[in-house]
Amino acid sequence: MAQPLPQSQVVLLFARGVLSILDLWPALTIAVEEQWGGIESAEKKTWLASTLIDEFEQRITLLPFNGAVNPTQNIQENMVDPNGDLPLDFDEIGDLLHQIMSDEFDANLEDGSIDSVSNDLINLWKTILSSTNPNEFIENLEKKVNELKKQHGGKPKISKGQGGSESQSEGEDEDSDDEDVNMDEAPQLIDNQQPKERQEPVVDDDGFTLVQKKGGRR
């Protein structure tokens, strides 16, 4: 059975988990990359994480203080009740995420991802309080984030970007078509130009060859 953890340790683990969960949220990643929230989109993502952490921290259920000492800091600290109520329930988390995504990123997400993130946050909180090794759980989340960044260079695959490439290809195809047309026209111009007939010398009645005047340049 997991032992109660000091409040500061719970908050620190939860904060690390929140950052990882948000990094693994494709919709939020795209919103930041595409600057749906303006040039401060990255800062807004950080603010979203801080808001979630603060909301949970302010509603933590603590055990009655018994003078417990945090072994890592050697100070007296309150312990979190592992059987306490969730600081925020599923609906409250979802409403908060919907509001922030709408207000800050002008995004009305209907892909079900907010429900998934809400469940992930609840699972994160419960695991921290119930697991015998919550740090391992957090490290696994952080590992997933690092693997994702390595795969995509820190950026998600965005359909809009792919559309841009297709548009560029269309432009290149148009240029190729133009070149094909020009190449087709060139032989036609040559074919339409008839070879000049060689003029035969003109001889007068006395047997002298007359010098003919050449045509001027066009």
CA geometry: angle at 172 spanning 189 and 170, to 5°? 115
pTM: 0.68
Give CA–CA dist 136/131, Å, rounded.
9
DSSP element (H, E) containing 210? strand 209-210
C-alpha 49/C-alpha 27 separation (Å) is: 15
The answer, yes or no, to whether residue 91 has pLDDT greater than 90, is yes
* DSSP string computed for 32-84: HHTTTT-TTHHHHHHHHHHHHHHHHHHTPPBPPP---EETTTTEE--BB-TTS
Q: Name the DSSP letter for residue 218.
A: -
pLDDT at 155 over 70: no
pLDDT tens profile 24-51 = 999 999 999 999 999 999 999 999 999 9
- What's the pLDDT score for residue 77? 84
Q: Does position 134 have pLDDT exceeding 50, yes or no?
A: yes
The three-state secondary structure class of 6 is: strand
Asked if pLDDT for residue 200 goes beyond 80, the answer is: no
DSSP calls for 114-151: HHHHHHHHHHHHHHHHH-S-HHHHHHHHHHHHHHHHHH
Average pLDDT along the chain: 78
Q: Over range 11-25, report the average pLDDT.
A: 98
What is residue 147's predicted lDDT score, i.e. its pLDDT? 94
- pLDDT of 84 > 50? The answer is yes
